[in-house]
Amino acid sequence: MRTIARILAPALLAAAAACATAPAPGSFKAAPEMLYSEGSSDFNASDLGPARAKALLDAERGAVRRAAELYMDDTARAENYQALENGPLKNPQLYVARTRTMSEGQDGAFYRMGVRVWVYHDRLASALRALNLTGQAAAGPVAVFVQKGPPAPAFAKAFRDVFVKRSAVTIKDYPFVSDQALAAGPPEALLAAASAAGADLVIRASASASSSGAGINTGFFPSRADATAAIYDARTGDSLLELSMQANAIDPSESVSFSKALASVGEMLAQEAASKSGRLLKTDAVIRVRITGVDGLETLEKIKAELQRVDVKGLRLDSYSAGAALFAAVPVHPDPQEFASAVLRGDSLGLELDGTSAQEVAFSMPR
């Protein structure tokens, strides 16, 4: 038995190591890159050590934040600011390879440091993706979900969760969604409000549950849920899809039985809606922007700022290694040649166009 264990142990350890080092989807390897960052802390002449440590940590946090923002689009950064603070920025040292202090000293009531920080930006990018903080450069349609009639939380949650998972649509909550009069009224007013808010679609649904048998005599309460959903184009007002569905459930508790039936009909209706709407909805075209000859993260910040001046719906850095950067851009006008021309017209970095294809534009930095 011990012999078998000795034979199997190395194989098991090797398998475990292979699993532990398996790359995450979209991950890449890159050397640490330097960013100059400044940090500060309260000055305490009698105890300088903690002040220096806090100023250094502040500088490290600033460098990691700047690197993280390269890999996030503006919407993701705005919507997930707190998640970024509670995630990578809570322990920035995990993403710092080394530092070099360039300046330090008292500045009034503060102790300030200027630091060169080498950031493991590849690890940081993987962490952001794992936390869903990078955002979708390829932005699919944005929908408003509105429920008519009495609230049915179990139905609404099930429908939203499954529909978002099974489709390219993002559901966002806007203030007008809570207006029951708007939800119950004619669709025109609802569509106008959704369009003005920037939504592409309106999902208008209703659901109710009722008893479907004499539960009091059996100790169980059978129930049935009925639901409908209609999907509209918010801008044109066109009705894209109308569906209805039923689902049954049973439970010793009548209220639990109703919740189960509502959740079940929500899941079924969402699956059907996602399947059928996939043929009707178009996602924004993504253009890959490949740039070679990049000499660091600070140059990447300038490049990203320049690309953002072009009329784009979304932009994020997907990878950067060995001087080659790959951005994902969603331009308002999805023609690669038109996009390349717009970039060059506003260029201040001396970018050279290397070529365009159906889904990619390639530039190089001046030598």
Domain with 107 in it: what CATH number? 3.30.1660.40
Alpha carbon distance 63, 67 (integer Å): 6
Backbone phi and psi for residue 259, each to the nearest 5 degrees, phi listed first: -65, -40
Specify if 206 maps to a domain: yes
Query: Mean per-residue pLDDT for 62-77?
Result: 88
Alpha carbon distance 275, 271 (integer Å): 6
pLDDT at residue 7 in the model: 37
**Residue 31 above 50 pLDDT?**
yes
CB 193 within 8 A of CB 225: no
Residues belonging to the chain: 367
pLDDT at residue 275 in the model: 87
Indicate the residue among 71, 101, 130 that finishes a domain: 130
Domain with 326, as residue range(s), is 287-364
For the chain, give the percent of residues with pLDDT over 90. Answer: 61
Q: Kindly state whether residues 184 and 266 are assigned to the same domain.
A: yes
Specify if 207 maps to a domain: yes
**Residue 25 above 50 pLDDT?**
no
pLDDT at residue 82 in the model: 86
pLDDT at residue 134 in the model: 82
Contacts of 120 (CB under 8 A, 6+ apart): 32, 94, 95, 96, 97
pLDDT at residue 9 in the model: 40
Residue type, 316: R
pLDDT at residue 79 in the model: 73
Alpha carbon distance 71, 283 (integer Å): 21
Q: Answer with the residue of higher pLDDT: 312 or 144.
A: 144
- Residue 230: other Cβ atoms inside 10 A: 18
Q: Which residue reads 């007002």 in tokens? A: 237
**Residue 263 above 50 pLDDT?**
yes
Q: Kindly state whether residues 199 and 269 are assigned to the same domain.
A: yes
Specify if 3 maps to a domain: no
Q: Kindly state whether residues 68 and 157 are assigned to the same domain.
A: no
Specify if 343 maps to a domain: yes
Q: Answer with the residue of higher pLDDT: 157 or 77.
A: 157
158-207 pLDDT per residue, tens: 999 999 888 878 888 888 888 888 888 888 999 999 988 888 899 999 99
Query: Which DSSP category does 105 fall into?
Result: E
Contacts of 331 (CB under 8 A, 6+ apart): 285, 287, 310, 311, 312, 313, 338, 339, 342
How many domains does the chain fold into? Answer: 3
Q: Kindly state whether residues 267 and 326 are assigned to the same domain.
A: no
**Residue 5 above 70 pLDDT?**
no
Q: Would you place residue 247 in the very low, low, confident or very high pLDDT band (cuts 50, 70, 90)? A: very high
Specify if 248 maps to a domain: yes
Q: Kindly state whether residues 85 and 158 are assigned to the same domain.
A: no
Query: Mean per-residue pLDDT for 11-15?
Result: 36
- Average pLDDT taken over every residue of the chain: 86
User: Which of 29-43, 53-67, 195-209 comes out lowest in average pLDDT?
Assistant: 195-209
CATH number of the domain encompassing residue 150: 3.40.50.10610
Q: Kindly state whether residues 124 and 233 are assigned to the same domain.
A: no
**Residue 284 above 70 pLDDT?**
no
Specify if 59 maps to a domain: yes
Q: Kindly state whether residues 82 and 47 are assigned to the same domain.
A: yes
**Residue 343 above 60 pLDDT?**
yes
Query: Mean per-residue pLDDT for 353-367?
Result: 92
- The predicted model scores a pTM of 0.60
Rounded (to 5) percent helix, strand, coil in the chain: 40, 30, 30
pLDDT at residue 67 in the model: 96
Q: Kindly state whether residues 349 and 250 are assigned to the same domain.
A: no
